Structure 1
Amino acid sequence: MPRYAPNRVPTAVKKRYFELLHQGYRGAAAARYVGVSTSCGSLWFIDAGSMIVPDPGPISPRFLTQDDRIAIADGLHTGQSVKRIAASIGKSFQSVYREIKRNSKPDGRYNPWWAHNQALLRRKRPKEEKIRAGEQLRTFVREKLTEKWSPQQISRHLAREHAHDTSTRACPETIYRALFAGLLGRRDAKLRTGRTRRKKQRRGVPTLNKIKNMTLIHQRPVEVNDRKSPGHWEGDLIIGRGQGSAIGTLVERTTRYVQLIHLPGGWKAPQVRNALIAQTAHIPPQMRRTLTWDQGRELTLHQDIEALTGFRIYFCDPHSPWQRGTNENMNGLLRQYFPKGTDLSVHTAQDLRAVARQLNRRPRIVLGDKTPVEAMRDCLTGPLTR
């Protein structure tokens, strides 16, 4: 028999042969049923990896089926492009590219039965969840969650401390799954946001207001955008129940250092002006360069603030919170301490300093896992130019 004779048989015959094997037929009987020799069927079986892996069927429509893989092999054999093959089976061309790269044989050929067997073998995961099985890992993750670490921060810490021991490491998704499944406890271990299930983020829309003599963000120095030069801040208010109380938030763009502004007398323009002037006086002059705010009327007296603090104030476009992305992110973190719909006037200046201290001592991936305090200290001890 010529060497490549088995591959000249129509694909439908091969497909029926492997279907019979899955049904429990012996190789010789399956070969006779489809009309080929026993040796021909044996070559097919060997080329497919010499195994029959039970196929329970796809667990999700996004997974490729055996028929999809046969169509991919036929398309490659006839010289079709990957995009055309993908369109014929209703998948993205990226999925087909990954499939060919991942499940081709060591010699580079794509055999659909070999590929399907390999996919089924990888799909089988009989092992127990890592966090369920590891008491030490579960205890550590629970402790860090109670200290308000995020799953990403916990995962990076484990990767650094246990670089050579994969049993005591966990990716963020593993921690999220364990948390939402209740493996870490319902009462003690919580996300900083308090969420118990996955939820899309929602952002508020700032109110359009007219403020005289505003300098818009488009006139802000270009050096602010690259975050290499410290001293550029973003500010906002988080509002309490019934809009009767507020807390001011300032975040330095380079170091992510946060300062909270106590507003015991309300949050109208005069109170915000006085509080900003008094509570930023301790910031070194070289760290008071620009301040970016939204177009809230609480900053109507921005010219007074500029004159008495040294900040150059710039205003974002209406309905554009992403132009203060650092501050928006920080406000989201702060809501774990100051939930929406609560009275913020009950928090003292000492309370605000304690919250800011905790946030400033938390490692941030954007800072290379430094804390904002460490990053700010580096800026203050290094060369700074106004």
Structure 2
Amino acid sequence: MVGRRPGVGPQAEKREAFARLIARGVSNAEACRIVGINRRTGKRWRHGREVRSSSGRVLHYAPVITKRKREVSPRYLSEEERVRIGDLRRAGLGVRDIARQLGRDPGTISRELRRNADKQSRYRPFAAQRLAAERRARPGRGKLVGDPPLRVFVADRLGKRWSPEQIAQALREAFPGRPERHVVHETIYQAVYRPELGGLHRELPRALRTGRCRRKPHRRSDQRRAGSLTGMTMLDQRPAKAAQRSEAGHWEGDLITGVSNRSAIGTLVDRASRFTILLHLPGRHTAEEVRDALIAAFARLPASLRRSLAWDQGKELALHGEITTALGMPVFFCDKASPWQRP
């Protein structure tokens, strides 16, 4: 029996060197020339590939450089830092010397070399980066998974159409001396919508009062809504004559919408004379449409009748700055959810 010819040995060192060059911005052709590999090999290493073996098994080779890097906290080692650790380690530097050059604690470097080395105790930076990323992405176990009585209690109440808020309160009454079984309603929502973490049945989302199978995303309290107003001047800064109704040219505006917000009409009322102008909005009533309608309506009036405009904080006036610039008329806004401030 004739023995098979041995294949090409592992090229881990060349792959690491190639990946390091690509990460530093070297072109594919130049990196292949420096490392000593064929351009086709470099392309396969860079983008990954699938190979079918003689037995029919498909082998997957991951790319050495990922196209998109996930932003992580600076408290974790970055890919660039791991490359420097690998270079300094090969140069013979010790843990404390490496830590001093990177500005890191020696314990961080020691732990990195210990946790992310391969089976031969060799440190390869890109392999270490993948291992660290996989550990960060691995989700933790939910609180309900490790406590069967707690999971049964929550699932039973959800089946009875209780809300997560009611269940969270009932847990404190049912287990008064077991604070480890006291959870907030957010924990129950996460267990419902992510059963792989919470251990609940996949049909339970339908037991919620909303009946949604997917959770509706919520904005943070400090996150600005798209199209919201900026640079507002509030109504308390409006001239006193406007509040006294003793001078013409101070207007109050509003938007009246129809069924399902599919139609709208704008109204402009002079505070002194009660003269009313209607804004024709035949199509959409976006900020651009309302801006154009307001400029067209007020442009017909003399400057003495364009002293100020009051509006609520509706998004249709998001372009109030352009209205002021075009007409020379300041726009004042009520406080949020307070349209009654325009008496």
TM-score, normalised to structure 2, is: 0.33
Comparing both structures, which one devotes a greater share of its residues to strand? 2
> Whose helix fraction is larger, Structure 1's or Structure 2's?
1
Return the index of the structure with the highest Cα Rg.
Answer: 2
